[in-house]
């Protein structure tokens, strides 16, 4: 069964049920099929052919969803990204689909969606998509990569279908009667997997063009009961006045994109009745571990849950990636039990200690196994080399958060004029905090000094909801 045929069969069961709500529109399952057909006609008329590669520049949720289904129907490869990083990475593509003309890109390389494209909406005869052929579509999403450098990851349609349930709630929540909102944009592979799984289950989705910035009022307005979000967004929500009034109707929250600390989870659970579903994974693999937060059973910040991927094998390695067959701790790697990994980078990685190497995928994390439970204890590159000594950024983050209540710190590795590594700290806090104060709090790290401090209203986030380290470093340069 293809993604297109699976959606069409769900639409046949309840065509007028609300499928998608956005800031500006409400669409039924049948409306989505009409939009897919209309886009197919418009793009084919303008020269798009099966098997071509299309860059989806627009973040409009209804268009991103329709294109996910169209790539299944026409075996397209779709890169969900604005064009600049695609061109910077040297990736080949045939056309860009956009709602606004892109300066510097030849007109014959872009499809500009105009209002006239939708004039026939609902009037064209709708084909029977329930037995649609195809199934050879390719999804390409951008991730922060294993080292913070953005990478493009290609996955097959079959892999995306398999990942949809894992990216949602591993079957622990019946989504058929739920209304789900993702605070991440539709350019996030994790967010789109959650959306697809909800719709294939028969539920309804609320999707916002710009994601997290204005999610709270829509949760209340559209009676959202299920949420997909990231720890960074949870923290931002907690800082809003009377946030609890927006969250009373939530029943389940899927937290992805990064690790959420025990303090954050406890604070959020105190004002929101929803179950918090957590885990660990990567854009290159999909979710791998899962657990549900229980205030009565506190877990340490580094708890990942139990391994939930029978299709994958876990291995431990030393820092030179030499296998440690008997170890229960080390640099972690994953490989398929059979065959090869279905996702790959579209361009070669310049990192030889993380990423796809010799049939394994190395996320760059150091894990420990205790029985069936797993814990993250560090990253192979999450360090700053200051004065010849190496310091863990995770440990720096934890100490600063404890020293300054109400602060959300984010340590950043900078470089001085001579190329030596220096420590900067970006932070959100009720009051300014000086470099001297930050350095004093880091007294346990002998010799470590904060050379730059930058107070922000909000951290820049990637499409996957993680703090965007590259943009953060640029903010230091601009300050």
Confidence label for 278 from pLDDT (cuts 50, 70 and 90): very high
Domains in the chain: boundaries:
3-282, 383-478
Confidence label for 16 from pLDDT (cuts 50, 70 and 90): very high
Give percent of the chain with pLDDT exceeding 70: 95
Q: What is the pLDDT of residue 170?
A: 83
Q: Which two tokens stand for residue 152?
A: 């493009």
Q: What is the mean pLDDT of residues 357-382?
A: 90
Residue 229: closest CA among 212, 214, 204: 212
Q: By the 8 A CB rule, do 411 and 425 touch?
A: yes
- Bigger pLDDT: 426 vs 283: 426
Residue 190: closest CA among 260, 286, 98: 286
Q: What is the mean pLDDT of residues 174-178?
A: 95
**Tens of pLDDT along 383-424?**
787 766 778 888 899 999 999 999 999 999 888 776 678 899
* Cα separation values, 397 from 347, 368, 425, Å: 32, 21, 9
385 C-beta neighbours (distance < 10 Å), count: 12
- Bigger pLDDT: 231 vs 423: 423
Q: Which two tokens stand for residue 338?
A: 């059979």
What are the backbone dihedrals phi and psi of residue 398, each rounded to the nearest 5 degrees, phi first? -65, -45
Handedness of CA 23, 24, 30, 34 (dihedral sign): negative
Q: What is the pLDDT of residue 211?
A: 65
45 C-beta neighbours (distance < 10 Å), count: 8
Q: By the 8 A CB rule, do 111 and 48 touch?
A: yes
Q: What is the pLDDT of residue 387?
A: 64
22-31, 321-330, 470-479: range with lowest mean pLDDT: 470-479
The strand order across the sheet containing 95-98 reads: 110-112, 95-98, 53-56, 77-80, 138-143, 151-156, 344-345
**pTM, two decimal places:** 0.83
pLDDT at 3 over 80: yes
Q: For 125, which DSSP code?
A: P
Mean pLDDT of the chain: 90
For residues 406 and 384, give the distance between their C-alpha atoms in angstroms, rounded to a whole number.
24
**Tens of pLDDT along 87-122?**
988 999 999 999 999 999 999 999 999 989 988 888
Q: For 203, which DSSP code?
A: -
What's the CATH superfamily of 383-478? Answer: ANL, C-terminal domain (3.30.300.30)
50 C-beta neighbours (distance < 10 Å), count: 12
Q: What is the pLDDT of residue 353?
A: 62
Q: What is the pLDDT of residue 268?
A: 94
Which is it for strands 77-80 and 138-143: parallel, antiparallel or unpaired?
parallel
Torsion angle, CA of 395/398/399/404, rounded to 10 degrees?
Answer: 160
Given 3.40.47.10, 3.40.50.720, 3.40.50.12780, 3.30.465.10, which CATH number is that of 3-282? 3.40.50.12780
Torsion angle, CA of 145/146/149/153, rounded to 10 degrees?
Answer: -20
Q: What is the pLDDT of residue 385?
A: 76
Q: What is the pLDDT of residue 470?
A: 79
For residues 31 and 33, give the distance between their C-alpha atoms in angstroms, rounded to a whole number.
5
For residues 246 and 238, give the distance between their C-alpha atoms in angstroms, rounded to a whole number.
11
90-94, 195-199, 451-455, 464-468: range with lowest mean pLDDT: 464-468
Confidence label for 351 from pLDDT (cuts 50, 70 and 90): low
**Tens of pLDDT along 190-203?**
899 999 999 999 99
For residues 133 and 454, give the distance between their C-alpha atoms in angstroms, rounded to a whole number.
54
Confidence label for 233 from pLDDT (cuts 50, 70 and 90): confident
Phi-psi region of 359 (alpha: psi -120 to 50; beta: other; left: phi over 0): left
Q: How far apart are the first and last CA of the chain?
A: 53
């Amino acid at each position: 069964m293809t993604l297109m045929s699976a959606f069409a069969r769900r639409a046949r069961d309840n065509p007028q049920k609300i499928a998608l709500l956005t800031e500006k529109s409400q669409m039924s399952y049948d409306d989505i099929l009409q939009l897919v057909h209309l886009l197919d006609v418009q793009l084919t008329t303008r020269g798009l052919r099966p098997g071509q590669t299309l860059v989806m520049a627009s973040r409009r949720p209804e268009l991103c969803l329709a294109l996910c289904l169209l790539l299944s129907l026409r075996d397209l490869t779709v890169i969900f990204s604005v064009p600049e990083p695609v061109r910077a990475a040297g990736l080949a593509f045939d056309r860009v689909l956009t709602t606004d003309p892109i300066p510097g890109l030849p007109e014959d390389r872009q499809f500009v969606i105009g209002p006239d494209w939708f004039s026939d909406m609902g009037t064209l005869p709708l084909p029977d998509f329930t037995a649609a052929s195809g199934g050879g579509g390719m999804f390409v999403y951008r991730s922060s990569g294993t080292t913070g450098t953005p990478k493009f990851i290609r996955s097959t349609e079959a892999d995306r279908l398999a990942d949809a349930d894992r990216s949602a709630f591993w079957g622990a929540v019946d989504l058929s009667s739920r209304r789900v909102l993702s605070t991440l944009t539709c350019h996030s592979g994790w967010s789109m997997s959650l959306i697809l799984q909800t719709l294939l289950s028969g539920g309804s989705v609320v999707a916002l063009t710009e994601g997290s910035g204005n999610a709270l009022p829509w949760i209340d307005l559209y009676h959202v009961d299920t949420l997909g979000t990231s720890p960074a967004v949870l923290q931002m929500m907690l800082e809003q006045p009377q946030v609890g009034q927006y969250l009373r109707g939530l029943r389940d929250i899927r937290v992805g994109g990064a690790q959420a600390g025990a303090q954050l989870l406890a604070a959020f659970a105190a004002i929101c009745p929803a179950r918090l579903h957590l885990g660990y994974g990567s854009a290159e693999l999909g979710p791998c571990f899962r657990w549900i937060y229980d205030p009565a059973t506190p877990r340490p910040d580094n708890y990942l849950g139990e391994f939930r991927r029978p299709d994958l094998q876990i291995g431990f390695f030393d820092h030179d990636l030499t296998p440690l067959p008997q170890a229960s701790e080390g640099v972690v790697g994953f490989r398929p039990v059979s065959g090869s990994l279905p996702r790959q980078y579209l361009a070669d990685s310049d990192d030889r200690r993380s990423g796809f190497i010799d049939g394994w995928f190395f996320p760059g994390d150091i894990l420990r196994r205790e029985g069936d439970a797993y814990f993250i204890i560090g990253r192979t590159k999450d360090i700053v080399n200051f004065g010849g000594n190496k310091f863990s950024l995770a440990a720096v983050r934890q100490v600063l958060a404890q020293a300054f209540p109400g602060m959300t710190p984010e340590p950043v590795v900078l470089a001085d004029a001579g190329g030596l590594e220096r420590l900067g700290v970006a932070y959100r806090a009720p009051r300014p905090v000086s470099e001297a104060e930050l350095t004093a709090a880091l007294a346990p790290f002998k010799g470590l000094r904060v050379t730059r401090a930058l107070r922000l209203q909000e951290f820049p986030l990637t499409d996957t909801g993680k703090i965007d380290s590259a943009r953060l470093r640029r903010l230091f340069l601009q300050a």
